[in-house]
Amino acid sequence: MAENGLKTFSMHSSDDKYERTVATISGELADADRSLPAELAPENQDPETVARRYLNQMIASPAVPSLTAAPAETATYYQTVATEAVPLTGTKVVKFAQYLHHIPVYGSLITIELDDDNSLLSVNSALGEPEKVDPVASVSPARAKEVIAEDGGAFSPPAELPRLYYYFDDRKRRGTWRLVYIAKNVRREAAGNGAASSMPQLFDYVIDAHGKGELIARLPRSQSVTWRPEELETADALGKPRHIRAEHNESGKHRLSDTVRHVQTHNFNFRDIARGDGILPGDIVVNPPKPWDTGAISAHANAEEVVDFLFQELHRNGLDNLGSPVVSSINCTFRNANPANKEWRNAAWIGTQMVYGQRMVNGKLRSYAVAKDVVAHEIIHGLTDHTARLEYRRESGALNESYSDILGIIISNRHLPDIGDWNWELGEDLDGTGVPIRDLSDPTLHGQPAHMDDFRQLNPGEVPSDANDHGFVHVNSGIHNKAAHNLITSKASTGKFLFTPHEVAALFYLALSQRLTRTSGFSASRRGVVLSALTLFRNDPQATRTKKLAAIAKAFDDVGITA
């Protein structure tokens, strides 16, 4: 059992190990369909119905013991949470969450992938066994809200009310399942550990639904932009010419609103987010007055590149895949006791938008929006929020950070078709020194481990908090980053790179958006990448596919991330 309390299972029809099992399941379903009219054949039904039938068949079949039906008294069932067409692979994915006594099991997920004819392509599952847990809460939702308020958490619309879940409490070595209330996206006003936080703080609160209503966990959700469209050329904060999309009106006034990709950039005018977050995002940036705020141009152009990448490379319409605006605010401060000091050395995705601080470089303020890789990193946190929603603590938090690093590096090097020319450093444009904050090619250069042997653990009895970076998420992410670097730079015997930039972007995106759940760790990511590769390369020649799968396995093996 993993440290998140979930048992995992995966299989793919292209994997020799499971080819016969998938054929058995499909054959059993075909046998059951022989008496049905042609219009009820799987290829003529909707994906959700077919996926549900495959799931039921796997639960009933001895061919898939990992999904064998649980005893009837456990009252386990699986509820559909999403059905999605995946243009990258030409497949359809149906996701189910596990419920017990009508209560969801936190972090559970079954993903069933169907080919274009609705045949079974792959299955990936993470399921819990919260046995001997009383499903009837003895603590009221009102008391749960009181516990949150006592901890400094402030409910404000549209924050959700606390909801019951089965949750694996990992504070002790063996861990235990509990019935809990979880309240999502609660703003916490109180500072932790006797010191002010460095950015606005949103949390999912976990409160025991039994006993005295103990606060079990605080799971961070803040991770450290009549008019007509027009295309413009202008300089950013680094003096580089940038091509942007904006809007203009009859009087010749422009504003930073991209109606093609729904990107908007605002100026918060150095106000304090802690005191005035209710009026975010601030005023949309306009011209005149001239010249443009170059920090705003950096934020706008970089956000447009991220959203263009999602649309053009991954066939995704914005962070939520529904085209909702990507909003940025420049010139932000946070917990600023001295308004004359306009520095706030940070940038963050705060649940609904980007906020950018600034620092002095050679006597002038430089926006943190200048670094394309950092901008991409933070906006990808928004993508993670809309897909796997990886918990921002311990190993899942390190994975959350790593996926932002990986896709951030891919986006910032997108203009270089030769992977051999890529820059693997992150954040070297943030100040005047040119010193990066991370390096995917060698994490140890900046204090990160590059192998699971050096995974940094919390001390016995220590819990994730601001003081230990929520379980060293920015430290341990280096291990998964190194695995990604190994994969991306894998070469064939001819010396040519095995994967194209598009393929590596697709692999990690598909794993993040289709295979991972809230409490997934590094091994789950490896499984997700392998399953995504089996689907993505299913029509490649056998020899080519074998080489690619072997390279993926070696990339993770070399950093100690086992299957």
What are the catalytic residues? Answer: 378, 474
Alpha helix (H) ranges present in 166-293? 273-276
Alpha helix (H) ranges present in 43-123? 47-60
Cα distances (angstroms) measured from residue 16 to each of 19, 23, 542: 5, 11, 12
Distance CA 339, CA 182 (A): 37
Environment class of residue 48 by beta-carbon count within 10 Å: exposed (0-12), middle (13-18) or buried (19+)? middle
- Crossing angle of helices 501-510 and 394-412, in 10° steps, is 150
Contact of 449 with 479, CB cutoff 8 Å: yes
Which residues are CB-neighbours of 453 under 8 A, at least 6 positions away?
A: 560
How would DSSP label each residue in 123-135? EEEEEE--TT--S
Angle made by CA atoms 254, 258, 264, in degrees to the nearest 5 = 90
CB atoms within 10 A of CB 402: 27
The SS3 of residue 86 is strand
CA torsion sign, 193 to 198 to 200 to 202? negative
Distance CA 146, CA 486 (A): 48
How would DSSP label each residue in 528-541? HHHHHHHHHTTTS-
Instruction: Tell how many helices (H) and how many strands (E) occur in the chain.
Output: 11, 24
DSSP 78: E
Token readout for 35 is: 């008496």
Token readout for 288 is: 């005149």
Distance CA 507, CA 532 (A): 6
CA torsion sign, 71 to 72 to 73 to 79? positive
CA 459 to chain centre: 27
φ and ψ of 146, to 5 deg: -65, -40
